[in-house]
Amino acid sequence: MEGGGGYRTGLGGDRSDRAGIGENGRVRGFRSRLYRDDAVVLRVQKLGESDRIVTLLTRRHGKVRAAAKGVRRTTSRFGARLEPFGHIDIQLAEGRTLHSVSQVEGIELLGKHFLDDYPRYTAASAIAETADRLTPEEHEPSLRLFLLTLGALRALAAAEHASALVLDSYLLRAMGVAGWAPALRECAVCGTPGLHRAFAVPAGGCVCPDCRPPGAAHPAPATLELMAALNSGDWATADASPPAPRREASGLVAAHLQWHLERGLRSLPLVDRSEPHRPDSTRREPV
Ligand SMILES: [Zn+2]
């Protein structure tokens, strides 16, 4: 019987005492271990009538999926803080299968900036989906990916750069965290430094004339310059780029990403890249 069994060890919730786990995955009879972290909300799914499952990218505990009870009731204190793209401070309770949310405070609820802005909303969705897909294992910390994801969502919210540029910069750098950044300033095959003109996704990026495989693309030099700028956070160069290299760079970044992911991203084809480019932007803050 739930809660009535008096199964107390008096050991303060020693994690080795897993014999007391109930059918619902909660530790029965003594407190389950609580932990606190800050996190970005990547995804929210319905669970039954009033609950949700949230997918979080936390600073210190990697990706965590957690049940949030009662958040869809109008009286919920949690609901608004557990919307996608928010930066939150959260307390979680360990469970056998799913952890559960016990407290949430909003640090910066970034999602509200994207609600009425389709280009920014779709870019944010592609960023969150990429972060989710690049973390197949839960509870494996990746501070770099956390900081990169939070930085990209904040940059989108600040609207200092075109959202497609923020997205492509994020995708390039997230691929770097995953270990498969495209080679941009050296040959992907032999490592000869320099700006090479051909780009081959299966080879791993730019390739020199000696290593160029059949079927390699020949993007405009301005496209490869833009990709290098986005990868290094050179926003002066990126903001000043005209539309054609932006389109071509987006295509190459997407092709490189899709090559390495088992399944394509659902959100990437939806990204709206139609916003006007702003060559006169004077803002230069790095992401
Ligand atoms: Zn080469």
Here the CATH number for the domain that contains residue 216 is 1.20.1440.120
Q: What is the whole-number distance in angstroms between the Cα of residue 191 and the centre of ligand 1?
A: 6
The answer to whether residues 243 and 130 belong to one domain is yes
pLDDT value at residue 128: 97
pLDDT value at residue 17: 39
The answer to whether residues 52 and 76 belong to one domain is yes
pLDDT tens string 29-54: 445 799 999 999 999 999 888 899 99
Q: What is the whole-number distance in angstroms between the Cα of residue 232 and the centre of ligand 1?
A: 22
The answer to whether residues 28 and 149 belong to one domain is no
Establish if 195 belongs to a structural domain: yes
Helix (H) or strand (E) holding 245: helix 243-260
Which of 71, 86, 108 marks a domain boundary?
108
Q: What is the whole-number distance in angstroms between the Cα of residue 203 and the centre of ligand 1?
A: 10
The answer to whether residues 231 and 137 belong to one domain is yes
Q: What is the whole-number distance in angstroms between the Cα of residue 202 and the centre of ligand 1?
A: 14
SS3 110: helix
pLDDT value at residue 31: 59
The answer to whether residues 202 and 254 belong to one domain is yes
The answer to whether residues 14 and 121 belong to one domain is no
Domain extent at residue 48: 3-108
Alpha-carbon gap, residue 183 to 277, rounded angstroms: 26
The answer to whether residues 145 and 63 belong to one domain is no
Minimal CA–CA distance to 250: which of 216, 284, 274? 274
What is the count of structural domains for the chain?
A: 2
Residues with CB under 5 A from ligand 1 (ion): 187, 189-190, 208, 211
The answer to whether residues 125 and 53 belong to one domain is no
Q: What is the whole-number distance in angstroms between the Cα of residue 82 and the centre of ligand 1?
A: 48
Q: What is the whole-number distance in angstroms between the Cα of residue 69 and the centre of ligand 1?
A: 55
Which of 82, 108, 134 marks a domain boundary?
108
pLDDT tens string 142-171: 999 999 999 999 999 999 999 999 999 999
What is the chain's length? 287
- Sign, CA dihedral 78-82-86-89, equals positive
DSSP state of 44: E
Spans of the chain, pLDDT less than 70: 1-31, 72, 74-76, 275-287
How does DSSP assign 145-202, residue by residue?
HHHHHHHHHHHHHHT-S-HHHHHHHHHHHHHHHHT-PPB-SB-TTT--BS--SEEETT
The answer to whether residues 91 and 232 belong to one domain is no
Alpha-carbon gap, residue 13 to 159, rounded angstroms: 46
The residue ranges of DSSP E strands in the chain, in sequence order, are 34-47, 51-58, 63-68, 87-93, 99-108, 198-200, 205-207
The answer to whether residues 174 and 225 belong to one domain is yes
Q: What is the whole-number distance in angstroms between the Cα of residue 194 and the centre of ligand 1?
A: 10
Establish if 281 belongs to a structural domain: no
Rg (CA), the chain: 22
Establish if 22 belongs to a structural domain: yes
Contacts (Cβ under 8 Å, ≥6 apart) of 229? 235, 237, 238, 241
The answer to whether residues 121 and 55 belong to one domain is no
pTM for the model stands at: 0.83
The answer to whether residues 225 and 144 belong to one domain is yes
Which of 77, 108, 139 marks a domain boundary?
108
User: Could you tell me if 270 and 123 are in contact, meaning their C-beta atoms sit under 8 angstroms apart?
Assistant: no
